[in-house]
Structure 1
Amino acid sequence: MNETVLVTGGTGFVARWCIVSLLERGFNVRATLRYLEKAEAVRRSIAPVTGATDRLSFAKADLMRDDGWAEAMDGCTYVLHVASPLGTPKGSGRDAYVLPAREGTLRVLSAAVDAGVRRVVMTSAAAAARPPLASGLVSDETRWADPDDPQFDNYRVSKILAERAAWTFMEGKATEFATVLPGAVFGPVLSSENLGSVKIISDLVAGRPRFVPRLGFWVVDVRDLADLHVTAMTAPEAAGERFIAAGDFQWMEDIAATLRAGLGADGRKVPKRRLPTALVRLLAPLSPDLKPLAPLLGRKFALTSEKARRVLGFSPRPVSTTVLDCAHSLIDSARR
């Protein structure tokens, strides 16, 4: 197979597993990095899973700069746009998240269209398809979240607006487009950097917080998510479609119970008691970490990944496997 796939943000948690999935299927992979000095670390991190990495190369490109993208796209048949900046050092407000995410996405898409790429698959977020929490509606691919809904923090607002801008930009373009909308992404880590939602598992194993808030997540395994990206990249029926990627819903206290039961002595610090929701609501306005979570306390909102299962054969593994594989990899990494 001589087709080359560009994966943006090669140091990321999801991006590394996308690289693994692509190499295992025989593709040539080019990953973008802001700093090429990190190339060897990325290569070393995936080698234990893939074996040979001779079909992996790197290109220097920054989501916030134009230069480098034409060269990165040269000769690529497909693009997996996985990267998304988490804000800028200069601000913590909404624009600090939204502007880099939206502008970076449009920069990647413009370069892909100019290069004649066959299809781009973009990583969005399940939150981008979430209706108002009190609406009783199910999150599915027909929904478009309201970025002004107070349930969303700045990061999720950036994902909503970046995906909207992407679909608008790609209208009428010869390059095909699809988006994948993951829930909370857990699973084994290949590196200790850019962990994203895996920090939830890392904190629980370390005994943080001491009491667990009544928060829940629709969980997806990073390996299943990476495979879904590759399927969405090649399946003819995926062009022009959105796909929610999620397995089962888990309360944080259920995840903690799974860790305690499955880790043995390594799970001794995992918290056992729930933090009263009334207390969390009282403290939330005073805490930058708790404030964005307040609207989701005690809520299990409805979501379906039926479309991804039906159209692309998405079959997520059990949440317990995902959570324990994630924790074991974090523990093993800390011991090395």
Structure 2
Amino acid sequence: MGETVLVTGGTGYVGGWAIVALLERGYDVRTTVRTLEKADAVRAAVGASERLSFAAADLTKDAGWDEAMQGVDYVLHVASPLGDENSTDAEALIVPARDGALRVLKAATRAGVRRVVMTSAANAASPASYKEDSVTDETLWTVDDPSLPAYRRSKTLAEKAAWDFIDSYDGPTELTTVLPGAVFGPILTANNVGTTQIIQRMLTGKMPGTPKIGLEVVDVRDLVDLHIRAMVSAEAGGQRFLGTGEFVWMRDIAEALKSRLGEQAKNVPTRQLPNFVVRLASISDPALKAITISLGRRNRHSTAKAEHILGWKPRPAAETVVECAKSLIAQGAVRR
């Protein structure tokens, strides 16, 4: 094919699957890692290929990004700086996410890259009131509010900074953003379970019950497919695309695992925890505190734009979570 794609964060969950999909489609792939010592771990996860190369670059530092962009046609910016998404220190998450996105974009424009496809989050296109039962699309921007979880604010502000930069830029490089929901699916290695930790915790029995939290489940393979479609489609430049999947409650996920995995899912809890119990527990558990804002919320996002323009269609949520669980078990990532 003769085209080179830079994937930021090759050690990440989405980054690893992006590398796999691009290699399968015949692209040359370069991926960034914070240090080149991590290259062997990436090769072990995605498979060795002479069309895969590495560049040392850290989203929190300027060094290495110009070199990483040399000869690159497209960029999939799927990486995020490391941080605790349950942190109450907003600036500790917002600043590196925003500055990292700008580092990638500035280096890409200096190199004349054709298009950067950046991973944002569906939470960057959600209504101000989390009590609303509504369906929103890409035209909505989340209003930044200090009361929102720091991680959600960081994704919104990083994407907004990226668009503000492109609006002030006069050159050939285009920007497209993809806004995923809850990303599950098979893992490539037990050393990196990514966002599948929720399924992992359910399988190990570490959850006493399921909170009334709704998730728009998207398979990591479908999410990567959406990124690649957005990368090559002539109509996708300058666009936002929601990449959410089917809306399901966590209890629905638990029941799907129970019904399809049998004995392997014996520790999965199906009892739904009352909202007041979750709120009480959140007083001493930061991880729970971050999700209380979503208890009982049924806000959903429309993927009509991605389906119409890009021909994208996500698979059913139950299929994704079951394959995710089977993968976690097969890779030895479930220890009771």
Secondary structure of the residue aligned to 1:270 is: coil
1:219 maps to what in 2?
217
1:153 is matched with 149
Question: 1: CA distance between counterparts of 2:93 and 2:309?
Answer: 32
CA distance in 2, matches of 1:142, 1:335: 39
* Deviations, residues 16-61 of structure 1 (Å, cap 9, x unaligned): 11111111111000000002111111112112xxxx6211111000
Give the drift of 1:272: 2.2
Matches within 5 A, 1:142-291: 142-148=139-145, 150=147, 152-171=148-167, 172-174=169-171, 175-291=173-289
**Aligned mates of 1:82, 1:72 — CA distance in 2:** 15
Q: Secondary structure at the match of 1:181?
A: strand
Query: Which residue in the other structure is 1:105 paired with?
Result: 101
RMSD: 1.7
Contact 1:153/1:292, CA 8 A, preserved across alignment: yes
**TM-score, normalised on structure 1?**
0.94
* DSSP-derived class of the 2:72 partner: coil
CA distance in 1, matches of 2:91, 2:136: 26
Question: What is the 5 A alignment of 1:85-164?
Answer: 85-87=81-83, 93-132=89-128, 133-148=130-145, 150=147, 152-164=148-160
Size of the aligned set, in residue pairs, is 330
Paired amino acid for 2:121: A
Distance 1:187 1:319 in 2: 9
Unaligned runs of 5+ in 2: none
Corresponding residue for residue 329 of structure 1? 327
Contact 1:112 1:120 in 2 (8 A): yes
Q: Work out the CA distance in 2 between the residues paired with 1:120 and 1:310.
A: 21
Q: In 2 relative to 1, CA 305–111 (structure 1 residues): closer, same or farther, beyond 3 Å?
A: same
Letter matched to residue 139 of structure 1: T
* Displacement of 1:92: 5.3
Distance (whole Å) between structure 2 residues aligned to residue 249 and residue 269 of structure 1 = 24
In 1, Cα distance between equivalents of 2:228 and 2:221: 11
Cα distance in 1 between the residues matched to 2:133 and 2:275: 21
Alignment-mate amino acid for residue 4 of structure 2: T
Structure 2 residue identity aligned to 1:219: V
The answer to whether residue 36 in structure 2 is matched with residue 36 in structure 1 is: yes
Q: Aligned to 1:59, what secondary structure does the other structure show?
A: strand
Percent identity between the two aligned chains: 53
Distance 1:328 1:102 in 2: 35
- CA separation of 1:113/1:228 partners in 2, compared to 1, >3 Å: closer, same or farther? same
Deviates more, 1:173-182 or 1:272-281: 272-281
Alignment of 1:285-324 (within 5 A): 285-324=283-322
Secondary structure of the residue that 1:334 maps to in structure 2?
coil
Q: TM-score, normalised by structure 2?
A: 0.94
Contact 1:216–1:298 at 8 Å: present in 2 too? yes
The equivalent residue for 1:16 is 16
Q: 1:66 aligns with which of 58, 62, 65?
A: 62
| Unpaired runs of at least 5, structure 1 | none
Q: Which letter maps to 1:16?
A: G
**CA displacement at 1:332 relative to structure 2:** 0.8
Decide whether the 8 Å contact of 1:128 with 1:144 is kept in 2: yes
The amino acid that maps onto 2:175 is: F
What SS is found at the alignment partner of 1:9? coil
**Contact 1:66 1:107 (8 Å CA) reproduced:** yes
In the aligned structure 2, how far is the partner of 1:205 from the partner of 1:137?
31
Matched, 1:26 2:15: no
Q: Distance in 1 between matches of 2:327 and 2:149?
A: 29
Deviation string for 1:256-309 (max 9, x for gaps)? 011111112211111121111122123323321111111111111131111111
* Cα distance in 1, alignment partners of residues 311 and 206 from structure 2: 37
* Cα offset, 1:335, TM superposition: 7.2
SS at match of 2:76: strand
**Aligned-partner residue type, residue 138 of structure 1:** V
Aligned residues of 2:186 and 2:323 also touching (Cα < 8 A):
yes
Q: Is the 8 A contact 1:13 1:191 kept in 2?
A: no
